[in-house]
Amino acid sequence: MAVAIAVAAIGLYVLRRSKAKALVGCAIECDIEIPHKPIHRWMFVAGVVFGTGWALTGACPGTVLAQLGELKVYAIFTAIGIMAGTLSYGAIQSRRLPKDR
Protein backbone atom coordinates (compact mmCIF):
# COMPACT_ATOMS: atom_id res chain seq x y z
CA MET A 1 0.00 0.00 0.00
CA ALA A 2 2.82 2.38 0.85
CA VAL A 3 4.43 1.79 -2.55
CA ALA A 4 1.09 2.39 -4.32
CA ILE A 5 0.58 5.66 -2.42
CA ALA A 6 4.13 6.78 -3.22
CA VAL A 7 3.76 5.97 -6.94
CA ALA A 8 0.41 7.78 -7.10
CA ALA A 9 1.83 10.81 -5.29
CA ILE A 10 4.79 11.01 -7.68
CA GLY A 11 2.50 10.56 -10.70
CA LEU A 12 0.14 13.31 -9.56
CA TYR A 13 3.06 15.62 -8.83
CA VAL A 14 4.46 15.05 -12.34
CA LEU A 15 1.03 15.63 -13.92
CA ARG A 16 0.55 18.90 -12.06
CA ARG A 17 4.08 20.19 -12.74
CA SER A 18 3.79 19.38 -16.46
CA LYS A 19 0.48 21.27 -16.68
CA ALA A 20 -1.19 18.16 -18.12
CA LYS A 21 -4.76 18.53 -19.33
CA ALA A 22 -7.66 16.19 -18.58
CA LEU A 23 -8.60 13.90 -21.47
CA VAL A 24 -12.19 13.28 -20.35
CA GLY A 25 -14.72 14.96 -18.11
CA CYS A 26 -14.48 18.46 -19.59
CA ALA A 27 -16.32 20.11 -22.44
CA ILE A 28 -13.07 21.90 -23.30
CA GLU A 29 -9.50 21.33 -22.17
CA CYS A 30 -9.13 21.75 -18.45
CA ASP A 31 -6.40 21.33 -15.86
CA ILE A 32 -6.29 18.19 -13.80
CA GLU A 33 -7.73 19.03 -10.39
CA ILE A 34 -8.04 16.88 -7.30
CA PRO A 35 -10.17 18.73 -4.76
CA HIS A 36 -9.55 18.30 -1.06
CA LYS A 37 -12.27 16.29 0.62
CA PRO A 38 -13.45 17.14 4.12
CA ILE A 39 -13.06 14.62 6.92
CA HIS A 40 -16.38 13.50 8.37
CA ARG A 41 -16.91 12.07 11.83
CA TRP A 42 -18.05 8.68 10.51
CA MET A 43 -14.87 8.06 8.51
CA PHE A 44 -13.15 6.58 11.55
CA VAL A 45 -16.02 4.19 12.21
CA ALA A 46 -16.21 3.22 8.54
CA GLY A 47 -12.46 2.61 8.46
CA VAL A 48 -12.63 0.37 11.52
CA VAL A 49 -15.52 -1.64 10.02
CA PHE A 50 -13.71 -1.94 6.67
CA GLY A 51 -10.41 -2.92 8.30
CA THR A 52 -12.08 -5.45 10.59
CA GLY A 53 -13.85 -7.08 7.67
CA TRP A 54 -10.62 -7.16 5.69
CA ALA A 55 -8.74 -8.72 8.63
CA LEU A 56 -11.42 -11.32 9.38
CA THR A 57 -11.83 -12.46 5.78
CA GLY A 58 -8.26 -12.03 4.62
CA ALA A 59 -9.57 -10.47 1.44
CA CYS A 60 -9.77 -7.09 -0.17
CA PRO A 61 -12.38 -6.50 -2.89
CA GLY A 62 -9.93 -7.69 -5.57
CA THR A 63 -8.74 -10.76 -3.71
CA VAL A 64 -12.26 -12.03 -3.10
CA LEU A 65 -12.65 -12.59 -6.85
CA ALA A 66 -9.62 -14.90 -6.81
CA GLN A 67 -11.05 -16.69 -3.77
CA LEU A 68 -14.35 -17.18 -5.58
CA GLY A 69 -12.40 -18.59 -8.54
CA GLU A 70 -10.76 -21.05 -6.16
CA LEU A 71 -14.26 -22.05 -4.96
CA LYS A 72 -13.60 -21.01 -1.38
CA VAL A 73 -17.03 -21.01 0.25
CA TYR A 74 -16.29 -18.22 2.74
CA ALA A 75 -15.56 -15.91 -0.19
CA ILE A 76 -19.29 -15.92 -0.99
CA PHE A 77 -20.00 -14.27 2.36
CA THR A 78 -17.18 -11.80 1.82
CA ALA A 79 -18.60 -10.87 -1.61
CA ILE A 80 -22.07 -10.46 -0.11
CA GLY A 81 -20.60 -8.20 2.60
CA ILE A 82 -18.80 -6.10 -0.03
CA MET A 83 -22.01 -5.71 -2.04
CA ALA A 84 -24.07 -4.87 1.06
CA GLY A 85 -21.53 -2.25 2.13
CA THR A 86 -21.43 -0.71 -1.34
CA LEU A 87 -25.23 -0.58 -1.57
CA SER A 88 -25.48 0.91 1.92
CA TYR A 89 -22.93 3.58 1.08
CA GLY A 90 -24.79 4.44 -2.13
CA ALA A 91 -28.12 4.67 -0.30
CA ILE A 92 -26.67 6.92 2.41
CA GLN A 93 -24.90 9.18 -0.10
CA SER A 94 -27.99 9.50 -2.31
CA ARG A 95 -29.92 10.87 0.67
CA ARG A 96 -27.13 13.34 1.47
CA LEU A 97 -26.78 14.82 -2.03
CA PRO A 98 -28.98 17.69 -3.18
CA LYS A 99 -31.91 16.55 -5.31
CA ASP A 100 -31.02 18.81 -8.25
CA ARG A 101 -27.97 16.72 -9.21
Rounded Cα distance between 77 and 86, Å, is: 14
Residue 99, pLDDT score: 62
**If we measure between CA atoms, which residue out of 56, 55, 43, 53 comes closest to residue 83?**
53
User: Tens digits of per-residue pLDDT, 57-77?
Assistant: 888 788 898 989 999 998 999
Q: What's the predicted TM-score (pTM) here?
A: 0.55
Residue 54, pLDDT score: 84
Q: What is the pLDDT along the chain (101 residues), one digit of tens a residue?
A: 899 999 999 998 888 888 877 777 676 777 777 778 888 888 888 889 888 888 888 887 888 989 899 999 989 998 998 899 889 888 888 887 666 55
Where do the DSSP E strands lie in the chain? none
